Chains A and B, each alone.
Chain A
Amino acid sequence: MKKGLRKLVAMTSIVATLGAMTGGGLVACGNDDAGTNDEGNYTYNAIFSATPTTWSSHTWETNDDSVILGFTTMGLYDVQLNKDKTSYEWVPEMAAGDPVDVTSQYAGQYGIKTGDRRKVWEIPLNRAATWDDGTPITADDYVYSMKQLLDPDMLNRRSDSYTGGGFTIYGAKNYLYGHTPIIYESVASHGYASNAEAVAAGETLYIDMINFYGAEGAPAVAEWNIEYGEPVPDPDNPDATPTRPVLNCSLTMDYDKVVTDQWTAYTDTTMYFDLGYFAQKAPEYMNADGTINTSKVAQDKLDFSDYLFSAKMLYDAYGSKDLDVGGGAEQFIAIKVENANLDYSFDNVGIKKKDDYTIVLAVTDEQDDFYIKYYLSSNWIVKQDVYERCKVTTGNLVSSTYCTSAATTPSYGPYKLVSFTRDSEFKLVTNPNWYGYTDGNHEGQFQTTCIKYRYVSPQTAHSTTKELFFRGEVDELSLSGASEYQTFGTSSSYNVYPDSYTMQFFMSTNSSYLEKESSATENHRPLQLASFRKAISYSLDRKAYCDAWEPASQPGFGLLNYMYSIDGNTGELYREQPAAKKALLRYAGFIEGEDGKWSSYNGTKFDTLDEAYDAITGYDPDYAASLFQQAYNEAKAQGLYKDGEPVVLELRSAGQTASEMFNGTAEMFNKNIADAIKKCPAGTTFSSVTLKVGTSTSQAEYSAAVKKGEMDISFSGWGGATFNPWGVIYGSYIDPANSNNFGFDTMSKGINITVKKGNEEITESLYNWARWLDNHQDDSDYDGGAAHNLYKKLGRVGEADMDFRVEVLAECELAQLNTAVNIPLFYQSTGSLNSAKFNNGCDQYLPLIGFGGIRHFEYNYTNSEWSNWVRQQGGNLEDYYKTN
């Protein structure tokens, strides 16, 4: 008995020992403490649900990656709150002063021509800047780091920040691709608006057969017709020699010629057969073992040509839509370019050391005062010894694991990473060697002494964060759902974070699509009428919608919300300009009297512009009713509607639409429309207009449908960079290369805008005005392009008077709104609670700097005081935030 028990115990012990041996010496994964762990007095606790993976300035990818980067690095320039905390101001950080335009000194170098300006800049460096181990940071670090970033053997993902876009360093791209003999570049990058235009210009296009069509390994087909049976006479020509009938059922595969070349010329007629594609399209002809059932094929006289493809066939089928410029698959067609810059020397790249504390940067586009600082607010430097130590080679590619753990993360910012446990926690503490703590320029800033992020799985993120926030263990809680907004929306800790997007209904004007969708029970045709779409717009009670579904957001009436700044240096807002206000008033049906006073559609008068502007709600059932009547008459006259037909529209979006929010949206839409229609006398408008929620749509299908306007109504949001309102109208709504203009070809609609410049009235199309505005830096379109005439008259947009530019932008916005292709619903915002442990730097959200960020936190409690205070509140702060 005892022996048996001992065995049982022994067996359990063995199991335990085995376990202990397996786990012996284990510490939590990835915990590589890199130094002091002293949290100091003020700890900021946050949550993350996606682990940063690489936060090197050369390789970071996602916003989650950039979190650490934001604490451990510092740009040459940065923004901080101004003294009275009403706006932001630029300050030199890793730089010692403002950038100096030295373009004239470099004529003949870096592609600089005589007369060029603002392309070569001298940047004085901060002599007090060091790495966290005290090593000084000099011009050599900047040059070395740029060389590594652009290394042709590393092909670092973030090199694209300097090889294209608004801040292209001269020669950077040539150096980056210096080891690549052939480059396949997009059709659009060669300045073509479509594939057809490129072909007409004599270009040979190439299709990515592997990625676009998944044709890797498909064998070529030498022959697929065979003759069979006895010769039979031709019934149409009985005198001709009888021939054997041809059966398209035999495939002679050329396995020596399979699709292995990624890129194939668009004219290539080599026919390929893909068994996977055939099995998918014709499963009835497949055997269970995956081979073709040849006897059934012969019996049915199957024509295999339906299952063959060539590059030419793909181009003919997709080249004018999916593969075309702006199409969903445009990246799979390209122009082959032989690299004329093989083994390009880094000496030719536009960065050099002038002296130990001065660098010279040469860029390809002119930069104004705002943009040069904006682009240099990101830094690219890496610490040479750590970077080299972290290099690894896979295949022909060299990479560096720099900034993937605490031990490989040198800091030169206010904080240094001291521990990083993947998918668990990371911690940063004050970097004692950061110049900002002693230079006298950062008084009262960066009070936080420790930043601690803890991982919560996305599935439970909100509930767990909420629980931790009310325990005082986490310092920010994003609110979710109307009830939370109602409960905490009045708290002094509540903050609204607006973004630059305006959520909108996009409406199809594609008459053939609407015709196709229509039936006796569902008439979709009236949607093509602008009056009908406008009627919908004025029917919608945006405030009620926001209260129900988007409590942090504000009802939206314009395409640009109140985030956009017309001057990056001062932060002056576009939406606050008189011209911008007037545009929205006119869109809302307000009329400006000769006395300069405004009156609404129903006759209410307003003494000032601001009063009238504040009265816009976008909700005017009377006006909507009159528009429905107008639309009804137009529809009847054009044969788009017969009395009694129900007008039914379908709402779709990318991804899941079967949600409470979508159903609620449709419910509100239908109620609002019904209310407006009820205001019309019987028989003077549509009998009913209803919105139904469509089935889910994949992103690819959605993009393709949006591009062609092949869905009735879509629900999505668009916007741009808040400091560049000039490009939003073109970039987000008009650019034919973008997929979000909903098939509405602005160019062909003949929408003209007249803007007064002094005493002269200038009339041009909406397209040309928007294009002129968008050419903030890139002057390619001025040379014979869409904005050519305006350029001749007005010069570059950057040189135009600010009031005039705002006037043009407001007119463009109004013209686009008047198309009623897109109906603004609300300005997207999110709300959150901040811990009572600290106050934000300012009370109002400001572009570029928000509420001031961690730089401007002002703490009310030290860590120990906070713990005591939370304990005094009973260990749960929920009631506190409800009432304070």
Chain B
Amino acid sequence: MYMFKYVVKRLLLALLTLFIILSLCFIFIKLLPLPEVTGSEEYRLLVEMRRRAMGYYEPILVQLFLFWKRILTGFDWGYGEQMYQVQTVTSIIGEKLPATIMVNLYSLLVSIPIGLLLGIFAAVKKNKWQDHTISTLVMVFISVPSFVYAFFVQYLLCAKLNWFPLLANTTGSYFEPAMVYSLIPAILSLAFGTIAGLTRYTRAELSEVLTCDYMLLARTKGLTRRQATIRHALRNAMVVIFPMILGQFMSIMSGSLVIESIFSIPGIGALYVESIGRLDYNFFMAISAFYTAIGLGANLIIDLSYGFIDPRIRMGAR
């Protein structure tokens, strides 16, 4: 019951936060001047008329009211004025989201087991040459921006060795072998950073847990080192690591501007930046809402996950 109340409370708070953030975004964006219209006299007049018809010259609070009314009554976020003209914002986001999700998902499926295993291995072999090697590579992949190794992957695997096509094939089903194959360079480029992050995190957490007194107790009661590590150390370390993995899952929808650009993946990564650059307010608002909702949802799920992973943690209990 405590949990249920807690979840309801958090959900309501999340909705309130979403409302406040979006209202503020809307007001601030409307304080900016509208994009300049260039072109013939007829064209400028026409655009003026269109803006008037869409209520762009109503007082801001009236516009805000209409904005929420349209969303709450018909989930109408408007359509593109500066980009993807005439098409609804939601349809464009809906079209571009799957590419982003799938590429990131494949990347995570590769990254998580490798990252965890490398982290565990490094922790177990702490301060030995294996640990030093892994830690050095981790530092390299964390320090170097993703676009650097993305370019390197493309150059080496696609251009020089010719193992993969230069451009990702994104016109069929995302489960077709040909498409998955063409996505491998992008998946690898995305995976390097995540693997490095997970490895470092797992190693750090596990190293700490492995030195705890209860690990000594576990060994003294007769468990082997491997048994103690997996049953006790890893489980405790996962309290911290698992929320990170969940966070990664939520963030897969945010996309990667650089990787998507380099491998020509029609994802959502560039959409937010483009909407700001081209002053398309409808897109900006819809994508802001999307990311805000993801952020709030991710926080909620991560908080709740603590209780599931470690039963000692109870949410909402007095």
Contact = CB atoms under 8 A, between A and B. Distances in A.
**Which of A59, A61, A394, A425 is most buried by chain B, counting CB atoms within 10 A of its CB?**
A394
A145 interface: no
A260 B181 CA distance: 56
Contact of A28 (B47, B98, B105): B98
Contacts of B264: 423-424, 454-457, 464
A29 B96 contact: yes
Nearest to A457: B261
Nearest to B44: A331
Interface stretch (B16-24, B137-145, B165-173): B165-173
B246 to A, nearest CB: 10
A5 interface: yes
Please classify how large the interface on chain B is, using the bins under 10, 10 to 19, 20 to 34, 35 or more: 35 or more
B87 A53 contact: yes
Contacts of A399: 79, 86
A422 B39 CA distance: 27
**Which of B46, B108, B231 is most buried by chain A, counting CB atoms within 10 A of its CB?**
B46
B308 to A, nearest CB: 12
Contacts of B59: 217, 258, 260
B157 interface: no
Contacts of B213: none
A4 B235 CA distance: 9
Interface in B67-119: 70, 76, 78-80, 83-88, 92, 94-99, 101-102, 105-106, 108-109, 112-113, 116
Interface string A85-110: 00000000000000000000000000
Interface in A197-231: 210-211, 214, 216-217
Contacts of A18: 249
B232 to A, nearest CB: 9
B234 interface: yes
Contacts of B42: 160, 163-165, 173
A460 interface: yes
A640 interface: no
Interface in B242-267: 245, 249, 260-262, 264-266
Contacts of A35: none
A19 B48 contact: no
B238 to A, nearest CB: 8
Interface stretch (A184-192, A489-497, A807-815): A184-192
B317 interface: no
A457 B262 contact: yes
Contacts of A5: 230
B266 A15 contact: no
B173 A27 contact: yes
A31 interface: yes
A821 to B, nearest CB: 25
Binding site of A, secondary structure by majority: helix, strand, loop or mixed?
A: mixed
Interface string B17-58: 000000000000011111011011111111111101111011
A12 interface: yes
Binding site of B, secondary structure by majority: helix, strand, loop or mixed?
A: helix
B49 A19 contact: no
A4 B230 contact: yes
B270 to A, nearest CB: 8
Interface in A372-400: 392, 394-397, 399-400
Contact of A421 (B84, B88, B171, B261): B171
A211 B33 CA distance: 6
Contacts of B79: 392, 394, 399
Contacts of B211: none
A397 B261 contact: no
Given A30-B95, A211-B34, A8 B40 contact: no
A28 B99 contact: yes
B227 A4 contact: yes
Contacts of A157: 43, 46-47, 50, 85
A211 B170 CA distance: 41
B108 A459 contact: no
Interface in B136-178: 159, 162, 166-167, 170-175
Contact of B88 (A28, A392, A423): A392
A16 B112 CA distance: 10
A54 B166 CA distance: 27
Interface in A1-47: 1, 3-5, 7-8, 12, 15-16, 18-19, 22-23, 26-31
A455 B266 contact: yes
A467 B112 contact: no
A54 B87 contact: yes
A210 B85 CA distance: 23
A528 B261 CA distance: 49
**Which of B43, B45, B53 is most buried by chain A, counting CB atoms within 10 A of its CB?**
B45
B31 A216 contact: yes
A407 B35 CA distance: 31
Contacts of A165: 40, 42
B179 interface: yes
B41 A189 contact: yes
B78 A422 contact: no
Given A53-B80, A164-B41, A456-B167, A23 B105 contact: yes
Contacts of B262: 457, 459-460
Contacts of A626: none
A15 B104 CA distance: 13
B12 interface: no
A85 B172 CA distance: 42
**Which of B37, B105, B108, B224 is most buried by chain A, counting CB atoms within 10 A of its CB?**
B105
Contacts of A392: 79, 88
Nearest to A212: B33
A29 B101 contact: no
B224 to A, nearest CB: 7
Nearest to B159: A467
A22 B80 contact: no
Given A160-B40, A395-B66, A460-B262, A29 B48 contact: no
A733 to B, nearest CB: 20
A868 interface: no
B226 interface: yes
B250 to A, nearest CB: 11
Nearest to B92: A422
Given A1-B227, A29-B95, A217-B60, A155 B85 contact: no
A139 to B, nearest CB: 26
Contacts of A210: 33-34, 57
B139 to A, nearest CB: 26
Given A260-B59, A421-B170, A422-B96, A23 B102 contact: yes
**Which of B55, B101, B230 is most buried by chain A, counting CB atoms within 10 A of its CB?**
B230
A464 B167 contact: yes
B96 A423 contact: yes
B95 A422 contact: yes
Nearest to A471: B166
A170 to B, nearest CB: 15
A818 B70 CA distance: 61
Nearest to B224: A1
Nearest to A210: B57
A419 interface: yes
Q: Which 7 pairs show the lowest CB-CB distances between chains A and B?
A: A4-B230, A164-B42, A423-B266, A160-B42, A457-B261, A29-B95, A395-B54
Given A30-B95, A260-B58, 9 more contacts: A160-B42, A173-B42, A210-B57, A217-B59, A260-B59, A401-B88, A421-B170, A455-B167, A467-B159
Interface of A: 1, 3-5, 7-8, 12, 15-16, 18-19, 22-23, 26-31, 53-54, 56, 59, 61, 153, 155, 157, 159-160, 163-165, 173, 176-177, 180, 183-186, 188-189, 210-211, 214, 216-217, 258, 260, 262, 276, 331, 392, 394-397, 399-401, 404, 419, 421-425, 454-457, 459-460, 464, 467-468, 875
Interface of B: 30-34, 36-37, 39-50, 52-55, 57-60, 66, 70, 76, 78-80, 83-88, 92, 94-99, 101-102, 105-106, 108-109, 112-113, 116, 159, 162, 166-167, 170-175, 179, 224, 226-227, 230-231, 234, 245, 249, 260-262, 264-266
